[in-house]
Structure formats: C-alpha cells, structure tokens
Homo-oligomer: A and B are copies of this chain.
Amino acid sequence: MQVLNNGFVKLLEHMGGDDAVIRNARRCWRSEAKTEDADRKLLRHLIKAGHKTPFEAMVFTFDVKTPLFVARQWFRHRMGSFNEESLRYCVAMRDYYIPEGLEDELLLKWKSKNEEAFDFYDLLVNEHRVVKEQARSILPIGIYTNFLWTVNGSSLMNFLHLRLDKQAQYEIRVYAQAVLELVRDAAPICFSEFEREVLKLGE
C-alpha cells in the first residue's frame, strides 16, 4: 500500500484476531466465545475500560518505508519491536521525501538541494573514504528508511489513537490510516469497536 511520494506499508504476518482476543478475555471468567453480540459487547467494554492484555494476543508484523522523520516518531512507540536498515552498513539510496503541493520553482530547488546532499555523500564515501556511519551526517532528514515493525493489538491501538489524531503530523497520519486499513480484516469486531469508541468515527 503506497504512502506519500515513495513510501509504503505492507502487512507481512499476523497472529490472532477477534477469536484470540475473545478467548483471552473470557479466560478470566473461565468461559468461551458466546454470541457475536455478547462478544462484541465484551470487546467494547474492554476497550472503554482500558483492559489491554486480551488485545496483546493479536500480533502483527509490517514492512514499512517512511521518511526518516516519520520513522523517528514511529519509534517512540516503545511497546513493539523494530528492525531497520542501517546506514552504518548500507549505502544510502537516493530516495527522499517530496511534499505535495510545492510550487514548481520550489520543487526544483527542493530536489536539487537533496541531490546535492547525495552528491556530497557519494564524494565522502567513494573519494574520501569517510566511513558511511559518519558520512550520513550530511544526508537530509527526509530520506526514506525501511524497517520491520512487530506490534501487538493493544500497542497498535495506542499508536493509531495518537497518530490518527488531528494534532499528529500529516506525514505520519497517512501511514496510520494505511495501517488501520490493513488490520481491519484481521479483527473486524475489535477494530470496528475501536473506531467507534476511541476514534469516535461514525458519530
């Protein structure tokens, strides 16, 4: 699923869905899944009351490509794991964020400033034998980076809650929206109740 000028989010793997969350929640009462209506009410209650552990029975792994400043916001969500390509070991690719809606002249300048930074990086690494981990200092914060994210359902909902908020930066909001599209099918009851109760959609 493409996001921004050159990024993406893919759902690689997941474990558990509505069934797993209901199974875990009902363990408390030594009971099993009941009618869909009763199960839905239970999930709604858990979301509203802030009971998180049952949602931790769902786990997702995403492959994500974002501008570096978006990745920095993303990595602030500590309950999850990240594996990112490292510019200590990999040569940086000439791949950077371009905002929509720049006027033509400004767009040209934006591109040429980014290209010049990569030119200088190439010079440092190839001609002057500066190590990659230092040479990257000169690259712009808008370069794309690529990482794997494993996160459980509870922490994912927290991410969506904060990053779909109007106060969140546009560039991460579009990623959060893409993540939400990707997980809906995996746990339709959980995420529809989450959208109603937390995101307050459909009001």
Cβ-neighbour of A28 out of B56, B86, B165 (below 8 A): B86
Instruction: Check if A82 is an interface residue, CB within 8 A of chain B.
Output: yes
Instruction: Check if A191 is an interface residue, CB within 8 A of chain B.
Output: no
- Total A residues in contact with B, Cβ cutoff 8 Å: 75
Cα A22 to Cα B13 in complex, Å, equals 15
Q: Is B120 touching A113 in the complex (CB atoms < 8 A)?
A: yes
Q: Which residue of B lies closest to A112 (CB)?
A: B120
Instruction: Check if A61 is an interface residue, CB within 8 A of chain B.
Output: yes
The smallest beta-carbon distance between A23 and chain B, in angstroms, is 7
The smallest beta-carbon distance between A15 and chain B, in angstroms, is 4
The smallest beta-carbon distance between A118 and chain B, in angstroms, is 11
Q: Given A27-B148, A61-B16, A83-B27, A67–B137 Cβ distance below 8 Å?
A: yes
**Copies of this chain, whole number:** 4
Chain A contact surface mostly: mixed
Cα A25 to Cα B27 in complex, Å, equals 34
Instruction: Check if A32 is an interface residue, CB within 8 A of chain B.
Output: no
Segment at the B interface, from A36-44, A128-136, A176-184:
A128-136
Cα A116 to Cα B25 in complex, Å, equals 32
Instruction: Check if A200 is an interface residue, CB within 8 A of chain B.
Output: no
Q: Is B13 touching A13 in the complex (CB atoms < 8 A)?
A: no
Q: Is A134 touching B28 in the complex (CB atoms < 8 A)?
A: no
Cα A169 to Cα B69 in complex, Å, equals 21
Q: Which residues of B contact A116 (CB under 8 A)?
A: 113, 116
Cα A195 to Cα B190 in complex, Å, equals 30
Cα A4 to Cα B131 in complex, Å, equals 17
Q: What are 18 A-B contacts with C-beta separation under 8 Å?
A: A13-B15, A13-B20, A23-B148, A24-B83, A24-B150, A27-B85, A27-B147, A50-B158, A50-B162, A53-B82, A57-B148, A59-B150, A67-B137, A72-B75, A110-B138, A133-B171, A137-B140, A141-B141
